[in-house]
Amino acid sequence: MSDQDYRIEHDSMGELRVPAQALYGAQTQRAVENFPISGLTMPREFIRALGLIKATAAETNADLGLLDHDIAAAIAVAARAVASGEYDEHFPVDVFQTGSGTSSNMNANEVIAHLASEELASAVHPNDHVNMGQSSNDVIPTAIHVSAALACHETLLPALDHLAGTIETRAKELRGVTTTGRTHLMDAMPVSLGQELGGWAAQVRNGAARLRDSLARVCALAQGGTAVGTGINAHPDFGAGVARRLADETKVPFRAADDYFEALSAQDAAVELSGQLRTVAVSLMKIANDLRWMNSGPLAGLGEIALPALQPGSSIMPGKVNPVIPESVAMVAAQVMGNDATVGVAGQSGNFQLNVMLPVIAHNVLQSVTLLANASRALADDAVAGFTVNEDKLDDALSRNPILVTALNAVIGYEKGAAIAKRAYQEGRPVREVAAEMTDLSEAELERLLDPQALTHGGLPGKG
């Protein structure tokens, strides 16, 4: 860098060149130089959480009589500007940094101190003022919980509700359409498309309920534990005050952790949340694959539905259209499952009083939340909402389904039913036709007993 491109900053380790236009200082610059690992920086949601924590911490310290009100006000204004995303380009630290996330905490402290100093026209110190009553060891676990909770409440849960609602709307539309059920990918008893889609909606609703249950624990914050959980250098009421202010500002029920030693040394709540995100991913994978199978063909596959045609499907085969949205969703699900494996390994790295894989936990949990939210909306709007049903194909398969003979078990017995099914399959004939030849049941009785729509209601059709 030329003399005009940098300025000299210093920290406890000495002087260092920092880009002239950078709002951060020496400790952030050391991290930039030490960790040229991935090019991945901390997620936007995480930077937002850091800003909110620093603003509420300053205001809480002012309330407690520990920080000058003018300094606290300047810090709060600067920190909320950071939270809003105005200064994201000044947060260059790689995800794969020091395991405590100290570099990201100091990045926030330095940027906010720089902005607050300009506002006040007097020095605001990144450690003494912005980081008052705090340690990276409680700030970063708090930022993980705050960012994850906000992302779930604001993006993922609404997206899952939208997906479930879209599926439920289609389920009502299609409740009178009967299709061949399948177990082991083999023909089984009939179900309505409404019932099939209802199962998908229940998966999504249950996944959201699991997330809400986990978020009750994610809302417990480490702030106030400082370096090792004892709360050294923080006012006894500081942690509860920060949590209360965060709750008031975000409308999410944050609270101080019951045990700061657990909150600093373990990331069990984040691991639990990641596991529930994986469960949602498993549900989306199942739904996406069902849609792909139902759409397959259109001639050599099932061809029961047609997904919206969104783009050409091949660079060499004209006219080919692929199920691109379910494929995208399936890849998202695979990524989330991999992220969960990383979070699980990282969660084991709580050595004594501190977990030392905090940044990678934040990155993976927040990426999973974002991916699932976006994938859920795409699946709802670009696949579920617009697919059409090939009812002729469904009816043809139902008429030739030998498994329909199951409905006669209560009348003719299993053995006789098996013989009818085998013959119907071998001869490629409707089961009703074969049953008429092999039993003394009348046409009217067979029509009633083997009505596919009636069979979707369960019970004992032979006794009806």
Stated as kind and residue range, the H or E segment containing 221 is strand 220-221
Residue 242 CA, chain-centre distance (Å), reads 27
Contacts (Cβ under 8 Å, ≥6 apart) of 190: 178, 179, 180, 181, 398, 401, 404, 452, 453, 455, 456
Please give the DSSP secondary-structure letter assigned to residue 314.
-
End-to-end C-alpha distance for the chain, whole angstroms: 88
Amino acid at 445: E
Q: Which of the following is catalytic: 2, 12, 184, 315?
A: 184
Stated as kind and residue range, the H or E segment containing 351 is strand 350-351
Catalytic residue check, 114? no
Cα 93 from Cα 105, distance rounded (Å): 10
Catalytic residue check, 314? yes
Stated as kind and residue range, the H or E segment containing 255 is strand 255-256
Three-class SS state of 306? strand
Task: Quote the tokens at residue 407.
Answer: 């409905």
| Contact criterion met (CB below 8 Å) for 455 and 190 | yes
Cα 16 from Cα 197, distance rounded (Å): 61
Q: Which of the following is catalytic: 38, 314, 442, 457?
A: 314
Active-site amino acid positions = 184, 314
